[in-house]
Amino acid sequence: MNQLDLLLHNSLAQLAMEASTGEAEVSDSLDFATAAFFRESCWKSFDWHRAASGQKRTSHPGLSISSRNNQVAFGSSKTDGRDPATTLIVSPANCSILERRTAFLLQYSAPLTIFDVDYRRSATAKISPELEHELKRKLKRV
């Protein structure tokens, strides 16, 4: 069973449990403060996106920054010189799917859903509770 099958299985099990108690709620949104790799084609339609020259990426990191709307902040491996007020730096120690330090640019977001996740690359993972608290604080100012 691959990761997508597992995700689907767990989601269906959760929905079945919620339906039996009358609490079913279907959503295509990622949970708040959840990171994932999203297909590169999902980012390309935004005018602020610049493809890295000479690189053939198939996916790019993103971080869910809203619990109500499908809003995912763009992630970049270039962490130097970023505005600390609008950037959340996440290391692999604080998010299991990241391979390197990543700057999530809170002012650059896209309305992505779970259907845009590149599950060939990774599953989804929550950031640490400390960084989630910092994210909430920064989002109030952005």
C-alpha Rg value of the chain to the nearest Å? 16
Across the chain, mean pLDDT equals: 84
Q: Which domains does the chain have, with CATH numbers?
A: 29-46+57-139 (2.30.30.110)
Q: Which of 35, 119, 122 is nearest to 73 (CA)?
A: 35
SS3 of the chain: helix, strand, coil, percent, to 5: 30, 25, 50
Q: Full-prediction pTM beyond 0.95?
A: no
Do the Cβ atoms of 95 and 36 come closer than 8 Å?
no
Q: What is the pLDDT of residues 4-61, one digit of tens each?
A: 777 777 777 777 776 666 655 556 788 999 999 998 888 777 776 665 544 566 788 9
Please state the rounded mean pLDDT for residues 75-86: 94
64 versus 46: which is more confidently predicted?
Answer: 64
